[in-house]
Amino acid sequence: MIEQELIGDFRMKWERIREAMLKEGADGCLLNIGINLYYTTGSMYNGYFYLPAEGEPWFFVKRPNGLSGEHVVYLRKPEQLPELFAANGLKMPEKLMLEADELTYSDYMRLRAIFQPRETGNATAMLRLLRRVKTPHEIEMTRLCAQRHAAAYAEIAECFRSGMTDLQFQYEIERRMRQHGSLGLFRAFGTNMDIFMGSILAGANAEAPSPFDFALGGAGADASCPLGANGTPLTDGTAILVDMAGNFSPYMTDMSRVFAVGKLPDEAYRAHDVALEIQAAVEEAARPGASCAELYNIAYNRAEKAGLGGNFMGTKQQAKFVGHGVGLQINELPVLTPRSKEVLEAGMVFALEPKFVIPATGAVGIENTFLVTETGVEKLTIFPETIHQL
């Protein structure tokens, strides 16, 4: 069921979950959502992962056929779980952790009725907190993704042809990214966060507000997916912000770079330089124990001092964060927002994205993925940060 060379990595995760369960007073954790199954087993399967507070984990599988290993048990429906617990000497939990923020209401109530625990806890919130700090293998996978991400970005300029629209440009970039091994699937936490591989914003479309909880918006190609490129012609004086997700391994990286068609207004180059200054200031301040709210304030105050507060993270709709955790999903914890109570810890991976929108021109700025080390941060996404001329 689990690759033997990775068993130590998964045991580290299981132990972290057990420690969190003990703090919650729980004696069992049952997972059913695919991303949580992958996090705890390295597999995507239809079924359940059960971790008791004491003892080995169990893998209850519906599909696919053919999985094998210690404590792998097949079942047809969750109503069989109590008899399977009894047959394998597992105690029914009195307090059970369930994925309250991700299961449908009917599935949540069904599992409660099956187990009839004295109390339930929120496994979604618990796992999101645990997933903030990456294991050595997760960090290795993130580094690999960052390297492939940069290699794909090195070919972006080759994708441009005069007379293109932003959508046509994105199609070519997507093709190059797939050739470099992109999995294509853009995983995000929360509802109404659908987007394919990433976003490209050009010209006035960068100002268009979106209902989705991303840093910047864009009208999108259709009302059913109101985000990103919308068919804007790439004419002289247009800034193009390329924010295509790095999903070259299960552990994602986030990186944005700016490309220009012709010469941009002086204000765009000045704003881009301010974004780089913000990145340097936050990078200098970021270390274990640093307040995420204070890191946001560093960014916002520099934007205000430069007279660009009205352009920072949007114009018609301004995002109230400047960074976010990255991992199996693109929007993990922590979040660099003025309301955050979180502090950085060694092993966290986060994206920092100070950006400005210049009306009629487009978005400028930067985004990179950083690993929090014992003494500071390490930039993982290495690619030139100037405005790239097309």
pLDDT digits (tens, 9 = 90+) for 328-366: 999 999 999 999 999 999 999 999 999 999 999 999 999
The confidence score (pLDDT) of residue 146 equals 98
- Judge if 118 and 16 occupy the same domain: yes
Strand partners, 356: 312, 364
Q: How confident is the model at residue 242 (pLDDT cuts 50, 70, 90)?
A: very high
**195/308: higher pLDDT:** 308
Q: What mean pLDDT comes out for the span 110-139?
A: 98
Q: What is the pLDDT of residues 146-186, one digit of tens each?
A: 999 999 999 999 999 999 999 999 999 999 999 999 999 88
Domain shared by 324 and 369, yes or no: yes
Dig out the tokens for 319 from the structure.
């995002």
Of 91, 109, 130, the position where a domain reaches its end is: 130
Determine the average pLDDT of the residues in 280-290.
Answer: 98
Check whether residue 246 and residue 288 sit in a common domain. Answer: yes
Tell me the Ramachandran region of residue 274: left when phi exceeds 0, alpha when psi lies from -120 to 50, beta otherwise. alpha
Domain end: 130, 156, 178, which one?
Answer: 130
In the prediction, which pLDDT does 193 show?
82
Alpha-helical segments (H) within 180-228: none
Query: Contact at 8 Å (CB) between 17 and 28?
Result: no
Quote the number of domains for the chain. 2
Checking if the pLDDT of 321 tops 80, the result is yes
78 and 195, same domain (yes or no): no
Whether the pLDDT of residue 1 is over 80: the answer is no
- Give the pLDDT score at 196: 86
- What's the CATH code of the domain at 23? 3.40.350.10
Is there a single domain that holds both residue 146 and residue 120? no
Identify whether residues 381 and 236 lie together within a single domain. Answer: yes
Q: Are residues 239 and 304 both part of a single domain?
A: yes
Mean pLDDT estimate for the chain: 97
One domain for residues 230 and 319: yes
Residues in the chain: 390
Residue 334's pLDDT is what?
Answer: 98
Same domain, 243 and 380: yes
Q: What is the CATH number of the domain that holds 345?
A: 3.90.230.10
Residue 2 — very low, low, confident or very high, per pLDDT cuts 50/70/90?
confident
pLDDT at position 194, please? 80
Does residue 4 surpass a pLDDT of 90? no
Mean pLDDT of 250-260: 98
Which of 329, 254, 323 shows the shortest CA–CA distance to 290?
Answer: 323
99 burial (CB, 10 Å; 0-12 / 13-18 / 19+) is: buried
- Determine the structural domain holding residue 14 and report its residue range: 4-130
What 3-state DSSP class applies to 307?
coil
The pLDDT of residue 12:
97
Last residue of a domain, one of 99, 130, 161: 130
| Cα 169 from chain centroid (whole Å) | 24
Q: Do both 345 and 365 map to the same domain?
A: yes
In this predicted structure, what is the pLDDT of residue 195? 84
Residues with Cβ within 8 Å of 358's Cβ and at least 6 positions away in sequence, in order, are: 206, 239, 264, 265, 267, 268, 271, 311, 364
* Residues 306 and 330 occupy one common structural domain: yes
Asked whether residue 112 falls in the same domain as residue 210, the answer is no
- In this prediction, residue 192 has a pLDDT band, given cuts at 50, 70 and 90, of confident
The model's confidence at residue 3, banded by pLDDT at 50, 70 and 90, is confident
